[in-house]
């Protein structure tokens, strides 16, 4: 069974606000690199404290915050954006 990517409503809004070339690069990264892995955690880093249970992918100056759902084999994208803005509440 293969992993799938899903986007939250908030992350879709963030994606649409990004430059089209960067948005395309992020989607391509998720498709080519993340879900092609046997375990998508191999390319990510776990977040700590109030974001415990979430995982971060780094692509240039952009970050992709995800929740990995093992039962459904889904990488749920919760937030994405430039590294200077992504960790704000």
CB-CB contact of 79 with 86 (8 Å): yes
* Chain segment 30-42, per-residue pLDDT in tens: 999 998 889 999 9
Write down the pTM of the prediction: 0.91
Q: What structural domains does the chain harbor? A: 4-69 (3.30.2310.20)
Q: What is the pLDDT of residues 12-57, one digit of tens each?
A: 999 999 999 999 999 999 999 998 889 999 999 999 998 999 999 9
């Amino acid at each position: 069974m293969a992993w799938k990517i899903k986007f939250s409503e908030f992350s879709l809004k963030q994606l649409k606000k990004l430059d089209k070339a960067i948005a395309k690069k992020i989607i391509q990264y998720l498709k080519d690199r993340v879900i092609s892995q046997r375990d998508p955690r191999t390319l990510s880093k776990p977040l700590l404290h109030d974001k415990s249970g979430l995982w971060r992918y780094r692509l240039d100056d952009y970050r992709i915050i995800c929740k990995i759902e093992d039962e459904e084999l889904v990488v749920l994208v919760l937030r994405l954006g430039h590294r200077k803005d992504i960790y704000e509440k």
